[in-house]
Chain A
Amino acid sequence: MAQDQGIRESEPQSFVDIVLSRLGLNLQKMGSSKLQRSRFWKKIYLTEFIPNVLLVLFGALVMWSASLTIPEASFPRHLVGILLGLAAAIAIWRYDYSLFADKSTFLLVLDIVLMLLPSIPGLGYNAMGMTGWVQIPLIGFRFQPSELAKPVTILLMASVVGAYNGKIDTLKDYLKLCGYLCVPFLLILTQPDLGTGLIVLVLGAAIIVCGGAKTRWVLITLGIIVVGAFVIVASSMTEGLPHILKQYQLNRLIVFVDPSVDPTGNGYNLQQAKIAVGSGGLFGKGIGNASQAGSGFLPEAHTDFVFALLAEEFGFLGSTFVLVMFGWVVLATVGLALRVESPFAKLVCVGVAAMWTFQVLQNIGMCIGIMPITGIPLPFISFGSSSMVSQLLSAGLVQSVWHHRKQVG
């Protein structure tokens, strides 16, 4: 591909071409701009691209409306996050993702470094109960390395699992792969960030399962996890046994099962989120009219509970739009996984699709009371640059898979 060729100044150019060229996207020199464009669009996986753009735009609209009533929700900062994420996405899109396929050691090291950043004195930023943040000295820029660790983990797991070509037969190999996954997972748990840890676990597990792990081993692992979780919860709730779960984590579980236990703390948040969603009705209350989110009843309305804000303002139509877009994005990604042949490419798509699905399930499910409360952002919509960059980067990965696909026949 002739990516290094410049665009001739004299050639008539469309606005899109100019913008893309400014962003460093040199298109193939072609005889006509129309043909140029059609070549360009072929490099973009529109099936995933369109809903993804719609989600980001809708998210921006939601955040703009949130900024009307919530002082913390800064619309310009949200836009900065989108731009940063866009830059990262374009970069990964242009870069051939497959170069990561045999760089598992590098990815593992990168993953570990990212996870340990908050623990480095002078970098770690722990204020107001936030953990897992890094503040770059002098410029004061803060971000969550664990967010960036998610796409890195996807690449890592895809690279190590992909090497097996869809057939993981020996227990030793299977355990080795699980071991790879445990590195980022356990590191995140030390931060502690159970929510992100679960995402990493789920996307890694999806990659291992889709990478051809023997069904028997998968089910046995699942059984161990279930029993282990049971033991952890039971032990945390029993006097005298080690309390592995923190009290607030246990409270979230308890409240999830019975919200009336604690109507002012976690149960209150859950109740308020449900009221926000339910009171939205079919058409919603309209932009800026969300009494639950706008008057402060709904906590974290622009971050963790952003779906409740969205559902309150835009109603069932808005919620459905968001869900359908997510469904579309995820299925497009799974569809791409089915169409590409490289195991690494397949597994990258699997990891991204699993991550999005689980985050949507966890975030929206939390707002409507079918999942326990965890601080997981809604991809493309929640306020927060780290998440935005990480999610757009993942989208860029999918686009990169499309871009660098090998045409067969």
Chain B
Amino acid sequence: MSLSTIIIILLIILVAALIGLYVFYNRGDERLQFDIGGQAPRAAGGNDSSAERTVRSRLLGLGLACTSVIAILLARIWSMQLLSRDEYVQQAENNRTRKISLAAPRGRILDRNGNEIVGNRPCLTVISKPEVAENDIEIQLLGNLIGMPAAAVRRKIQDQSEGAQSDRTVASDVSRRVVAFIGEHPYLFEGISVEERSARSYPYGGLAAHVVGYTGTVTREQLEESAASTEEGAIVYETGDTVGQAGIEYQYENVLQGIRGEQSVFVDANGSVLEYSTSVEPQSGSDVILTIDASLQQAAEDALASVIKKIHDTVSKACSAGSAIVLDVTNGEVLAMASCPTYSPNVFVGGISNDDWTSLQSEQSNNPLMNRAIAGQYPSASTIKPFSTFAALDNGIATNKSEYNCTGWWTGFGEASGQYCWEHAGHGKMNLVSGITYSCDVVFYEIGKGFYESDNPEAFQAKLREWGLGEITNIDLPGESVGRIPDAEWKWNYYTESADVDREWKGGDFTNLAIGQGDLLVTPIQMACAYAGVATGGKVWRPHVLKSVRSRTGNGSVVDYEPQVLREVEEKDEYKSMVHEGLVGVIYKEAEYIASYFETLPVRLAGKSGTGERVGHNPTAWYITFAPEDDPKFLVAVTIEEATWANSSAIYACRDIWGALYGVKNEIPYTVSSVESVGD
């Protein structure tokens, strides 16, 4: 209240007093007889009638004043209770009504056969009000009860990541004993309560962890973003909501996330619930059905892990990472997608602990959260050779008549810049088909040189891009990498620190590109899609892991994913059959032992191995195969980091996955070797 307001009020009173003064002063002072009723007058008195009149008029004034008071009060009450009633009723309702939002169960994630990969389970959670952090005794008691150090309990309560004002999660999945103890001793645990929350469950353990992803508590940024969103039907998050943070959980968040319900309750002034009122039932999120086949996924993960372990234990201590993809080339469905090293999405349930997070981020753990099948970037190595072949044929750099002589040492750009074929002994006479089959580097050095000397050298890179290399496949998973197709402009801009002469595009860059080495980077899913295109004769379907979405409320309607063509590459049939012949040869012609790995399969395969060199590291091994070779349906692509020659590493994972696909086992033991003679 400002001083001026007081002054105004006091002035009004003063004016009223002056008016009163005027009114009273004009009454006159006539004296009239007054019966004093048996009392002796102490002052004045006598036959004075004015006193009686004065008293009488003042009594009447008193009566008037009293009536006015009652009238004023009545008028004000009339205005409040009759005129403004609705407004006050609304305020009273606002006072006593609280809305409690009811969390909607999150949709499940199922494999293509309806097996539950990610489900929900009830989870007893101890939550605390922020103020409890100041109560040492209570924290100590709580710590003892749930078996946590008091310092850890305090840290949890002080953690503001769920919002400064909101309740803090202290512990999830506490036992019934803990719940009972807290319930029986409310005076010891003021501000502590137990809530039954719904938590993610993983019946298959960490199966397909990189595909399904994980959930976490909604972050402040996500909260702000959802609050700012004006999109129709967009989910509005609340503090403490569980949201997808990676994989399918993130990608299909708005499908999986249900719609919150709302319970109106009547509360007293302390916020205690007195009575339940109306409620709006929460709507469960929809189930997501994946194209993944759980058993094949398991087989792929096992195969990848066992090969990596074998390599790690024998020839390459650094080997710990890799990926495997199984695609249906006829529609782009991803039947399995494995990435190593993996993690357990369960550690994120109820909030990941600092220790777990640190360990997942440590260098030693080699980034287990990364889905290497879509985010890993490597030189493609020899697996690029079919596309180099297409580029050469399409641009007239080579023909089906072209012949090459491999001596193991190629000097196309002079002796000083001579390059070895991987087979130092030389392949002898080669053409394009046998160049693919035997992976003869010399053939592709010649192609690289041919492009270098042609009028339109960058038609090479254009062809690779046409096949989707260096471009995302748009798979329905977050975090896909782009890769990189190097060209003259890129090289000049990339090596800004180097001397100009080193920044220029040279013939050697083309020969490197033609054999998939150098600055080239591709992702496993890119290569898988490109080979799927080779398998189908040019049509590449967009890879996807979503098969359908099934509503859990209402009629349980199903919305199927409509396969989309990602790209169609035009190649002459003659060229396609040349490449195809070369790829079949890789399996059945290059070496007998390679064919032996696949001889138990009921179908014939085609494919290509690749061993990518990295300075200072063990090579990256690729093995990409599809089958049946005459009518391709499935594709298996395996990539292993820090491995050894593909034909003694990635090929085993590939073999085991094909075995699982067709239900046949091939028991030929792994013979991991770093010797070059196993072929590439």
Contact = CB atoms under 8 A, between A and B. Distances in A.
A311 B79 CA distance: 13
Nearest to B74: A323
Given A167-B50, A254-B1, A344-B39, A281 B81 contact: yes
A101 B58 CA distance: 21
B54 A167 contact: yes
B69 interface: yes
Given A169-B44, A323-B77, A346 B92 contact: no
Main secondary structure of the interface of A (DSSP, over half): helix
A112 interface: no
B17 A219 contact: yes
B5 interface: yes
A265 interface: no
Interface in A343-393: 343-346, 350, 353-354, 357, 360-361, 364-365, 368, 370
B84 interface: yes
B85 interface: yes
A226 B63 contact: no
A302 interface: no
Interface string A6-21: 0000000000000000
Nearest to A337: B59
A81 interface: no
B54 A212 contact: yes
A168 B51 CA distance: 9
A275 B81 contact: no
Interface string B50-90: 11101110111011011101101110111011101101110
B17 A211 contact: no
A166 B35 CA distance: 10
A311 B88 CA distance: 13
A279 B66 contact: no
A278 B5 contact: no
Contacts of B35: 341
Q: Report the interface size class on chain A.
A: 35 or more
B76 A278 contact: no
A166 B52 contact: yes
Contacts of B7: 230
Contact of B55 (A210, A216, A334): A210
Interface stretch (B18-26, B114-122, B446-454): B18-26
B616 interface: no
Contact of B41 (A165, A276, A365): A165
Interface in A315-336: 315-316, 319-320, 323-324, 326-327, 330-331, 334-335
Interface of A: 101-102, 162-170, 173, 206, 209-212, 215-216, 218-219, 222-223, 226, 229-230, 233-234, 237, 253-254, 257-258, 261, 272, 274-282, 291-292, 295-297, 311, 315-316, 319-320, 323-324, 326-327, 330-331, 334-335, 337-338, 340-346, 350, 353-354, 357, 360-361, 364-365, 368, 370, 406
11 contacts: A212-B58, A219-B21, A222-B20, A230-B10, A261-B1, A278-B88, A323-B74, A330-B70, A344-B37, A345-B37, A360-B69
Interface of B: 1, 3, 5-7, 9-10, 13-14, 17, 20-21, 24-25, 27, 34-39, 41-45, 48, 50-52, 54-56, 58-60, 62-63, 65-67, 69-70, 72-74, 76-78, 80-82, 84-85, 87-89, 91-92, 95-96, 266-270, 274
Given A165-B41, A291-B95, A330-B66, 5 more contacts: A215-B24, A275-B92, A323-B73, A327-B70, A341-B36
What are the 5 tightest A-B residue pairs by CB atom distance, in nearest-first order? A278-B88, A342-B37, A296-B269, A166-B51, A295-B268
